[in-house]
Structures are given as structure tokens and as C-alpha cells.
Amino acid sequence: LLPEGVREELIGRDPRYGELEAALLSHGGMGMYEHLFCPGHREPDLELLLEKGVLQHPSAVVAAPPEHCAGSKCHRNVVGCWFHSKGEAEIMSGYALMPNNLWCSHSWLQAGGHLIETCCEGEGESEYGLYWGAAVGGCRTVHLFRRHAMIGECPGIERTTTADVMGEPGSKLHQQACMAAGIEWEVHAGCHVGDQGMWRGCLLDS
């Protein structure tokens, strides 16, 4: 599909993507990368972003520690950085404005009034012009951690048991992540099962 066809299919499938696009473009930019070049794109945090998305400026950006700054791997980077912050940082899900004037899906952290960027080109230097997103809740945070640091490998996260590698709820690493996120693992165990490729929301909210 040509870019316009991708966009029409996406908004035709779910008009809320048009609302998301309008919210972003009200702050500048000429389009959304995923809306133009990613057929079948699905935004897992769509409802959260439409309800709570806010604009953030890069003037308060600090670089994450080097071990959490692998290029083009923001989603994996942020869960490792979050875990080692011991609950002091929040994971932000949303979009960032690239130098080509397109908004792209992105994850970062916030803590102590600063944005923590895991894809900095230099110390504290962000390539993004603006950030727009929302802090994810504890259950979603553990979902991301399970996907990118348990089932997937993440620098600085040691998976010591088979249960950790399989992403099993109740494993040592899962319990540690739930504790860091401020949730009870037994209560949220049903939210963190399966391959979890797509976030379908916290079961406690349904």
C-alpha cells in the first residue's frame, strides 16, 4: 500500500487513530510514521494516550546509563532502566517527533522532573524535537518487563531460572518486577500469561 492507503485503512478500521493523529499534529509535524508506512499497525496504549497523553519538551532530557542505551531499542532499554531505578522512574509510552518531522512510536522514562532518554546520540542530547505520551500503570509496566526482559533478553537483567526465561507469573524475576511496580503478583498473574505480544489491558480494569 502507498502511505495514504495505509493511513486510510488504519483510520477506517478504528477512527480513534484519527483522533490520535490530530492530537499529535496539533503540536507540529507532518504525519505519523506508523500511520503512513506500517500496514496493520496497532497501538497497544491507544485508550490511555487519548485519555492522558501530554506534551513534553526535550529541554529536561537526561541520558540513561550507557548499558541501557542500545540504539533503536527503546522499548527494551526502558524496562531495564526502569527495573534498576527501583521504582523511582516511570515508563512513558507515546510518540516522539523525529528530525524528518514525523512522529514515531517511542518509549522513555520520567523521574524527578526529567525525561530519561535511552536513545541519546550524546550525553543528554536527544534527536527528538518533542515528546507526547502518558505514564503506563504498574500492570502494563510489568507486561513490558516480562516481554522485553524475561521472554526477551535485556542487558543488566539476569534471568536465573527457567521460569524467568519462560516469563512465568510468580517466578523470582516476575515477583521482583511486580514489587518494583507496586502491584501484587498474585492479583495480576492472569494479566501476564501467554506470549503477550499485544497488550489487552489489565484484567482488573475490565
pTM: 0.92
Strand, helix or coil for residue 58? helix
Could you tell me if 168 and 184 are in contact, meaning their C-beta atoms sit under 8 angstroms apart? no
Strand, helix or coil for residue 90? strand
Q: Where are the beta strands (DSSP E) in the chain?
A: 31-32, 54-56, 61-63, 90-97, 102-111, 114-117, 131-135
Q: Which of 98, 118, 109 is nearest to 37 (CA)?
A: 98
pLDDT for 144? 94
Task: Quick: pLDDT tens for 23-45.
Answer: 999 999 999 999 999 998 899 99
pLDDT at 1 over 70: no
DSSP secondary structure letters along 124-146: TB-S-S-EEEEE--HHHHHHHHI
pLDDT at 186 over 90: yes
Residue 16 burial class via C-beta count within 10 angstroms: exposed 0-12, middle 13-18, buried 19 and up: middle
pLDDT band at 82 (very low <50, low <70, confident <90, very high): very high
Cβ neighbours for 164, distance < 8 A, ≥ 6 positions apart? 150, 171, 172, 173, 174
Q: Which of 28, 92, 103, 99 is nearest to 60 (CA)?
A: 92
